[in-house]
Structures are given as structure tokens and as C-alpha cells.
A and B are shown apart, each in its own frame.
Chain A
Amino acid sequence: MSEIGTAQAGGRATARFRVTQESIVFLIAVVFFAGFSILLPGFLDADNILSLIQNVSILGILGIAMGIVVIGRGIDLAMVTTMAMSTAWTIALMNGGTGPVSAVLLGLGFAAVVGLVIGFLVAYVEIPAIFATLAMSTVIYGFGRLALVDLDVIYLPEDAAWLRALSGQFLGIPLPVIWFAAVALAAFAFLRFTRRGRFIFAMGDNREAARITGIPVRPMTVLQYLISSLIAFVAGMITASLLATVNIRVAQSTMVYDVILVVVLGGIGLSGGKGGVRNVVVGTLLIGILLNGMTILDMSFTVQNLVKGAVLLIAIIVDSIANPRDEQTAQQGDI
């Protein structure tokens, strides 16, 4: 799909064909999808397509949270740690005999506090988001290990059937896919139709201008990190439900880079103010198609990493040719 930018705002009458990174990535995804469909028997099965989406739905949910932060010109490197620690604490509490409702509320509360603290550091103490969240990630992990959970791997209690049901099926569709769709829709509605959602774009585009216009820039920044932390908790609970375990070592893995990858790959620029939920979905789908196809092909670990890296590189190169740096990016700089 190529996006048709009508450029009405500029007052030009002629529609202009614009190559955006999103359309490039979508094109790459389509090419791979078509290629795998022809070459790999079984790829196009409804079952396989559903599992393809399911396998990236956690990544997609986190990607949407990251997308909201990045659009507002921030970044949340603590997201995966927040996810791991808040979920691990919830499950550990349940194992210790706390009722499920209070355990979930406490976990959610922990995630909310983390989001508020990060937001406060970025908005009021004015620490750059990349450093604030990087440092907070270590703090959350250390605090969690010290005070909340003492094991890397925590197993779901045997009687938590309701939690397992979170990753069951509904009308033949795996629930994680539905959660992904629900989070995507909610985020879409928030960004598109609410005033606060529009504020996020304004802040990402030009923070000073947004401030002068009267947008409550600082509270809005706090809200962004609060949202991303809460979504991270949701993603964590779905993962826990799916795998029947929580492994907090994920906090020290490279998962947060995978999340940034789907955001950037989909075309949400790290300089903020651009993109939307659709970009995250496109980026997530490309990764899903690649992983699924390479798994069916039984490619080795090293080759898979190479292919992923190469695809990302191609997308970035094509983007920088199609959308060269302009005055604005030169002034603001990338992150």
C-alpha cells in the first residue's frame, strides 16, 4: 500500500505520491507474505496466520505503549522491567496467599507508581527521558529483587485458572490477539479522538509551542509514562497467563530494543509528533511474518538474526533516501 498524501494543508491541489517508511515496511511485509504464501505450504492456513499474530501480540501491545510515549517525544526504556517486576510481584503475592483481586491491584498500583515516578523525573526534574528511564529500569529491577521477589522464575499458583483463561480462545481466536486488538483500538481512539491524545502529538511536534498554546505539558508527560507502565502490566499479565510462569530475567534481555524496533520500523520517528497506532501494527506484523516464515523454514538462530537486522537496515536506508533530512530534523535532531 502506498499512502496518498493530499497535502491539502499546503493548499496544493495536486495529490502527491509519498513514500513513507510505513508504506515501505508495509510493502516489504507484503512481499514476504506473498513469498512465504507461495513457497511455504501451510503458511497461509488460517491457523498459522492466527498464531503468527498471537506470537507478536505481546510485542505489539508493548509497541503501542512505547509508540504513545515516542509520539510525545519521549522513550520508555524501563517498560520491560516494569512489566516483569509488577507481574512477578502479583504472581508472588498470589503464591503467598494474597487474594487474586488485591494481588492484581497491588501489581497494577506498583506499575502506576513506577509510571508516575518516571513521569515526574522527566516532566518536573527535567531529566532527559532516555537517562531517566534507563536509570529507573535499574532501580525498579534492584528494588524488585530486594523487596518484592527473590527468584528469577515464578510459577503461577496451581489454582489460578482465571489467570490461565486470559490466554485462552474466543470463537477460535487466541485471546492474546484480541487483547492486542483491544489495546490497539483503545490507543487509536485515545490518540485520535480525545483532546489529551491530540495534545501528545502537539507536544511531540513542538514542546515549546505546545506549552505557549496552553497545553499542560508537564502533567501530560506524566500521563504518558503512566499509560505506558499500565499497558506494560497488562502485557505482563497476558504473558504470565500464556506461559504459566514469569521470568524476571526478561528485564535484562534485549526485549526493549525489539519493542523500539517495531515502533521505529513502523515509521514512528524518534523525534516525535508523527505516526500512530497503525504504524506499530504494520511494524509488528512485519516482524511476525518474518519470524513465522523463518521458523517454518527452520533457519538457524544466527541466520534469523542476520535477516532481521538486514530488513531493518533496508527499511532505514530506503526511508533516508525517500525522506531526506530536512530543516526541521536538522534543528531538533534525532533522539
Chain B
Amino acid sequence: MRNMLKAAFAALVMIGAAGYGHAEQFDDGLAPAYYEAMKGKKVVFLPLAMSFDLPQVWAKGMETQAARLGYDFSVRDPNWSSDAGAQALTTLISEKPDLLIVHNPDMQVYARLLTRAQKAGIRVIQINLKSVATTDAYVGVNWYEVGLHQARMAIEACSPKKGGSGKIAIMQGTPTNPNNAITMSAIEDVLAENPEIEVVSSQSADWDATKAHAVASTVIKQNPELCAYVGLWEVMDAGVAAAIREAGKTDAIKLFTNGGGQKPACDSIANGTFSGYVSYDAFGQARDLTDAIVQVLQANLEPGQAPYAIYTPIRDIFKDTMRANSCWTMDDVANAPF
């Protein structure tokens, strides 16, 4: 009897202990496997550089998620050098992490290394610019779509059918950059369908606001009828905005730009600096990315077996459609769940 009581007590204690150990885990058939898939995994992020908003947002999202799910997250920062990036990638291939998150500087430079990583059994997610090599997943913007949205904004604002002058100018970054090239091809496709729109200037400023300012101030003076400027990156387009402001044409010349949707962008829309803004919502991308991490690690397929993409839903922001949550701040990201 005593022994039986003892055994029963021991059994109760064991059940209790076991129950406590899994207290946070109700087995609904997936949850235990979900947590198991992430626990102790090694995830490494290779950005272009950690010094601008996009990688900071994505990294913050992954950091939060890593703390929640117990995976090991680290960043290798090549600080804008694709050589340093390629070296880091080569080292990583021999270190064999479970998952690599790669931000490509262009479509070619990492292509071969990404294929090698996949062959070495490392899963790879690419973000915001896809390499010619396809890997497990791509999360990010479809640059062609950005171009379509921007071109349509300009046509909507400037078409002679609607009383505009039909004259627009384009401020490119570096023509050889793939995001520049892809966005431009979309703009050219839309313009081909709208012959009433005339491009009076299409210049490159090398993503530099100072150069953009110099070019735009000249173009604006040469083309008094200019209706809109289409710029390919918000930071560079600060220069275009300054040129428009100087010429006293803030109302006459519309400026359409794109970017990741951080707070200063919405400030610029509110004060009329930007007339239209194509946002690829880096905050949303962070959630897409962390979801993709969970998905790739759970599916546990052979690397590269079933590639998929999550293209960022694009958000057009104008002054009158802007809402309190149209843009985000780093504080929002730091306090968001991932």
C-alpha cells in the first residue's frame, strides 16, 4: 500500500513536471514541430550595409524573432563593398549556417556563390533584389512594379488630356544598377503607351543628392513648362526637391519618388516636397522576411528544391490618402512583434 502510494505520488510528480515543461506548448499537431524547427538554428544576415533604414528594419525584425524562437542570429556587415560581401559569403559557406539572408548589390556578383551555398546544403533567402541565381525564397520588391506605379503617377498628373503640359523629367541613380534598370524599363514601357508624354530630360545622378540638385536646377530652368519629375530614390530626390523649391515651383512641378516608407518620407509628403511616393514598406518586408524564415526552416526541404517569392505589396502615398500608419519609425519596428 505504502509502495503503491509512493509510486502514485512519483507518477503524479512526473506528470506534473512533464506537464510544466510543456506548459507553454499545447500540442495541436503543429506547434511543437514549429518551435523545434527553429530552436538552436544558425541564421546569418548579409546586408549591403547596416547604415541605412532597410537592413536595420529587417535585422531588428529578425532579432526580435530570434529571441522569441530561440535561433542564433548574426549580421556580417560588408559596408557597401561587394568584394567584402563575396568574401563573407565564401567564409559563411564553409561555416555552414542553417540559413542565409542575402541582400544582393546586383544581379550577378553573388550569383555563383549563392548556388554554391545551396549545393553545400545551406538554405538561402534573398531580399529586395533578386540575383540571377534562384534560391529557396525571394522576399522583396518587384522593381518593375515600382516603375509602373511611378510612371502612372506622372501620367495621371501631367497628361495633356487632363490639362497637363505633358512634359516630365526623370532622375536616375546609376543606370547600370539593376533596380535602376528594371524600374526604368517599366517607366519606358508605360511611356511607350502614352506618346503624349514627352521626357525632356533623363539624367543620372549616381544616387547623389548634390548631383541630382545640380541636374534638376538646370533642367527646371531650361523647361519652364515642366510638369513632373520622376526620381528613383527618395534620398537622391531630396536634391531634386531642393531645386524645385529654389525655383519657387513647388506647386507647378510634381515630384514622384520611391523608398522604404520611413517617417521622413511622410513628413515630406505632408509638407508638399513629394507629390507622390511609391512605398515598398520596409516594415512590412521585415514581417514577410521573418515569415519566410519560419517557412523555409519548417518545410525542411533540400536547399533550392521549391523556390518561392513574396513580392512586397506596394503602397502609393499621396498627401490626401496619407494615414497615421502610412510610414513607420524605428521605434515602431523595435516595439513590434515578429
Contact = CB atoms under 8 A, between A and B. Distances in A.
Interface of A: 42, 45, 47-48, 51-52, 54-56, 58, 145, 150-153, 155, 158, 167, 169, 174, 239, 242-245, 247-250, 252-253, 291-292, 295-296, 298, 300-302
B170 to A, nearest CB: 10
A247 B215 CA distance: 18
A58 to B, nearest CB: 7
B109 interface: no
Contact of A245 (B174, B203, B219, B235): B235
B175 A301 contact: yes
Contacts of A247: 208-209, 235
6 contacts: A47-B221, A151-B51, A152-B51, A245-B209, A247-B208, A247-B235
B302 interface: no
Residue in B203, B213, B222 with the greatest tally of chain A CB atoms within 10 Å: B222
Which 5 A-B residue pairings sit nearest by Cβ, starting from the closest? Answer: A55-B214, A301-B204, A152-B51, A295-B218, A243-B209
Contacts of A52: 218
B304 to A, nearest CB: 33
A78 B289 CA distance: 39
A243 B221 contact: no
A243 B242 contact: yes
Contact of A250 (B175, B208, B215, B267): B208
A155 B215 CA distance: 21
B49 interface: yes
Contacts of B206: 253, 301
A295 B52 contact: no
A170 B241 CA distance: 20
B213 A42 contact: no
B210 A243 contact: yes
B201 interface: yes
Given A151-B51, A298-B202, A42 B238 contact: no
A323 B284 CA distance: 63
A243 B219 contact: no
A155 B264 contact: yes
B267 A291 contact: no
Contacts of A151: 51-53
Interface string B193-210: 000000011111010111
Nearest to B49: A152
A150 B203 contact: no
A158 B246 CA distance: 17
